[in-house]
Amino acid sequence: MDASERPAGTAELVEAARAARDRAIAPYSKFRVGAALLTADGHVIVAGNIENASYGLTTCAERVALLKALSDGHRTFSMIAVVADTAAPTPPCGPCRQLLWEYCGDIPVIMANLATVTATLQLATLLPMPFDRRLL
């Protein structure tokens, strides 16, 4: 997808995610990720990943941003940007995809590095057969 096809506000959201990446806490892997989640009413919720010595308790930037937004009362979302210092697109992990699907639906996921947008995909493309309330 070229720049003219990206959702409006992509550049600003990516910049917010880049700034959030600078505040990530990744002392073990050194793999810092930033996320910026846009609410339907225009708020931008930012977060970086937060690691600890027990890797299983590490929390991804996307989940931190989503949980911050939900705990602040936001319930509808327009898109998310994810930034990492990689040449290839860095998509959300499986647990992040599941939570984003449940609370955000089929939003655009903008993946970028420190210089450019590397990919923009709908969440349904990243999570083609989601488990959600339809199956309960």
pLDDT digits (tens, 9 = 90+) for 19-51: 999 999 999 999 999 999 999 999 999 999 999
56 versus 76: which is more confidently predicted?
76
Helix (H) or strand (E) segment spanning residue 46: strand 44-48
Integer CA distances (angstroms), 118 to 6, 54, 130, in order: 12, 30, 24
Mean pLDDT of 57-67: 97
**Mean pLDDT estimate for the chain:** 95
State yes or no: pLDDT of 68 exceeds 70: yes
Q: 63 with 51: CB under 8 angstroms? A: no
- The pTM of this model reads 0.93
Q: Which domains does the chain have, with CATH numbers?
A: 3-135 (3.40.140.10)
Integer CA distances (angstroms), 116 to 1, 6, 10, 63, in order: 13, 13, 11, 23
pLDDT, position 71: 98
Q: 50 with 79: CB under 8 angstroms? A: no
Is 62 noted as a catalytic residue in this protein? yes
97-115 pLDDT, tens digit per residue, is 999 999 999 999 999 999 9
| Catalytic residue (one of 5, 12, 15, 62) | 62
